[in-house]
Structure 1
Amino acid sequence: MFVQSFAHRARTVAGVVSAIVVASLLTVGATSTPAHADLLPYVPWSSYLAGWTDQYVPTSDNDCVAGRSTCLKATLKEESRIADDTAKSCSHNAVFARAYVRMTQLYGFTRDIPGYYQDVPYFNHVDAVFARYYTDAYYNWTSGNRAAVPQAWLTAFDAAKNKKVSGSGDLLLGMNAHINRDLPYVMAASGLVAPDGTSRKADYDVVERWLYDATAPLIAEFAQRFDPTMDDSQDPFGLANWTLFQMVSDWRENAWRNAEALVSAPTDAARALVSANIEADANTIAQSILNSESYVPLLSSTVPRDNYCALHNGDAPPMRYDFGYATPWGYSY
C-alpha cells in the first residue's frame, strides 16, 4: 500500500524518483565525450567472463572477480553503451540506463575518498556483479531470450518498449527490479562476511550517505533530457525527497535481510522458498508501479515526452553531481 500511495506522487515530485535510482548503484568523474567514437576503445563485457564468479576472490586473475580498480572502467563502458544507445533513440529505457551510469560514477568518486569504505576491492567486485545482473537482463531481453530475463525486469523493459508508464514509472520499475529482485542475490553471492568474521554491512550501508544528495541533480538531468514531467513540482521543505529516500532505504535493508536468508537457508528447498518470495515481492511492487504510473488513454500521452526528448536528449545535465558536472554522453573516470 505504501508503494502504491507513493507512486501516485512520483510523477510530480522531483525527489521521489531519484532516490530510488540512487539507492542501488555507484560512480565517478564527469568529462566524457559526445559519441561512441570518442570513447576509449570498447572493451566487450564478455571479455571479463573468463574466470568470472559472483563470489569475491581477491586472488583471481579476473579483475572484476578480484575487485581491482580497473574493473570499474569496464563496468562504466558497458553501462554507457546502453545509456547512450537508449538516449539517442529516446527509448524509455534511457531513464534507468543513464541513472545507472551516474550511480556508478558516484561510487567511483566515493571509493577514492580515503576511509569511505572499509574494503574497496570487495565493493569494486560487488559493483561489477550488480551491473552484470542488469546488463545480462537487458541484453537477453533485446535478443529475445525472454526465458533468461527475470519477471521484474521483463515488466520494466516491456513497459519502456511499449511506452506504457511515465518517466518516473520507468525509473521506479528499473529500481524495483534491481534492488528488490537482484540485490539479494548479488550480496549473497558476493559474501556478507569478511575473512575475519566481521559483517560487510557497514560498507553496504555507507552507500546511503550519498544517495539522498544525488536525488536533485539526477531528477534535474532526466527532466532536462527525457521527460520534463519528472520535475513538475518543487517541495521547498524536501519532504518528498525524504519520504522517497526512506522507501529506498527500506528496500535496501530488505534486500540485505533477504540475502541473509538465502545464505542461511539450511536446504536447497529452503533456499528456493526464499528465492520465490524475493521474486514474488518484486513482481508485486512492479505491478503496483504499473497501476499507478501508466499513461491513461485519452487523458495522458507519451507523445509530448517523446517529442521533447528528440529535441533535448543531448542537453548537458543542469546540476552538479558530487563528482562534478556530468556530460550527456559516455562517462568519465
Structure 2
Amino acid sequence: MTRALLVATLGVTGALPPAPPVAAASSPAAGAAARADVPDTCPDGGAGCVDDTIARLRDRFAVLGSSCDHHATFALAYLRTTQGFKWGRDQDGYFADNAWVNREGGLFAEYYYRAYDDWAAGRRSAVPGAWLVALDAARSRRLSGAGDLLLGMNAHINRDLPYVLERVGLIAPDGSSRKPDHDRVNDILAAVIDPLLAELIARLDRAGFDTGIPTSAALGLLVGWREQAWRNAVRLADARTPFARTLVELDIESGAVAIATGLATLTSYVPPLSGPGPRAAYCAERHGSAPPVAYPFGVPPAY
C-alpha cells in the first residue's frame, strides 16, 4: 500500500498535502540572517572549486557511509552528482559559462554543510524546516533509504536552490538568461541516476530502494523540482519590498516542509512489519563495496 501511494504521488505530480508546523524551524527572517552567513567560497568560479567540493563531500560521506548512518544516502548521491557535474563541465561547450556554474556548485554545497553542521551542533533555530525534517528522520532511522534520499534532495533543491540561484545571479552580463546552463544540469542527473541507484542498492539499502518507481519518474520529479527552484529564484529577485520577499520566502519554506513531511509519511517503516534492522545488517556487510556500475566519469572508489 505504501509503495503504491509513493508511486502514484511521485509519478504523477510530486505534490503532497500540507504538513503540520515543524518545531524549532527557522522563520524567514532568521533564514535570511543564516543565508547571509553562508560563505561564497568560490566567488571567482575557478575550476578548482569543484575539486574542493568533491573532496569535502567525499570526506563527509566516508564518515557517514562507513558507519552506515542513514544520512549517508543523501551524502553519497550528492557526491556522485557533483562528480557527474565535473564530468559534464569538462566537456567542451557543455556549459556556456563554466565560472558561473562552478560558483553555483560551490555555494550550493555550502548550504548543505551549514544546515547539517548547525543541526549536528544542536543549533536547531538556524536549521531550515525542510532540513530539520530530513535530518531528524535520518537520525531516528525511521525511513527507508529512498525516503532519506528524497527528503535530502527536497531540502536541497526546493529549499536551498532558489536562494543559491538568486545569489549567483540569473542574468549574464550580456543580458542573456542563465537558464540554459541551469537546465543542462538535468542532463547530468539523467546520466548518473541509473548507476547511482545501482550503487545505493548494492552498498547501503537493497530493500529500501525497491519502490517500484521507474527511474524516468524519479528523474522527472527532480527536473520538476529544479524548474520550480528557478521560478522561485526569479520571484525572490523580483521582490521589490521586504514584505513581498517575506511572502516568497514563506512560500518556499512552507512548501519544502510540506513535501518533506508528506514524503516522510509515505516512506516510513511500519513496525513490526518493517524496520531499520535489515538495512543496518546489509550496510554493515556491503558499504565498502565498489560501485557496481560505471558512471559517465568512470568507476569511482568506494571511499
Answer 1 or 2: higher relative contact order, Cα 8 Å, separation at least 6.
Answer: 1
Q: Return the TM-score normalized by structure 2.
A: 0.87
Structure 1 counterpart SS, 2:125: helix
The answer as to 2:223 corresponding to 1:249 is: yes
The answer as to 2:301 corresponding to 1:323 is: no
The answer as to 2:266 corresponding to 1:288 is: no
Name the residue aligned to 2:250.
276
Unaligned runs of 5+ in 1: 14-50, 55-61
- Aligned residues, how many? 275
Given residue 302 of structure 2, which amino acid in structure 1 is its aligned partner? P
Contact 1:8 1:293 in 2 (8 A): no
Name the residue aligned to 1:174.
152
Unaligned runs of 5+ in 2: 12-36
Which whole-Å CA distance do the structure 2 matches of 1:162 and 1:121 have between them? Answer: 39
Contact 2:38 2:110 in 1 (8 A): no
Q: Return the TM-score normalized by structure 1.
A: 0.79
Question: Residues 271, 52 of structure 1: CA spacing in aligned structure 2 closer, same or farther, 3 A cutoff?
Answer: closer
The answer as to 2:199 corresponding to 1:199 is: no
RMSD: 2.0
The answer as to 2:248 corresponding to 1:267 is: no
Name the residue aligned to 2:72.
94
Which of 81, 87, 97 is equivalent to 1:119? 97
Name the residue aligned to 1:31.
none
Shift of 1:95: 0.4
Name the residue aligned to 2:33.
none
Question: Residues 9, 277 of structure 1: CA spacing in aligned structure 2 closer, same or farther, 3 A cutoff?
Answer: closer
Name the residue aligned to 1:16.
none
Question: Residues 128, 217 of structure 1: CA spacing in aligned structure 2 closer, same or farther, 3 A cutoff?
Answer: same
Name the residue aligned to 1:311.
285
Moved over 2 A (4+): 4-10, 51-54, 230-234
Shift of 1:213: 2.5
Q: Deviations over 1:20-64 (max 9, x none)?
A: xxxxxxxxxxxxxxxxxxxxxxxxxxxxxxx9864xxxxxxx6x1
Q: Deviations over 1:220-265 (max 9, x none)?
A: 101111101145377xxxx822222221111111100000000000
Shift of 1:98: 0.8
Identity %: 43
Structure 2 counterpart SS, 1:65: coil
Name the residue aligned to 2:112.
134
Which whole-Å CA distance do the structure 1 matches of 2:300 and 2:77 have between them? Answer: 12
Which whole-Å CA distance do the structure 1 matches of 2:89 and 2:283 have between them? Answer: 33
Which of 271, 276, 285 is equivalent to 1:302? 276
Shift of 1:5: 3.8
Name the residue aligned to 1:160.
138
Name the residue aligned to 1:20.
none
The answer as to 2:57 corresponding to 1:79 is: yes
Contact 2:146 2:209 in 1 (8 A): no
Name the residue aligned to 1:69.
47
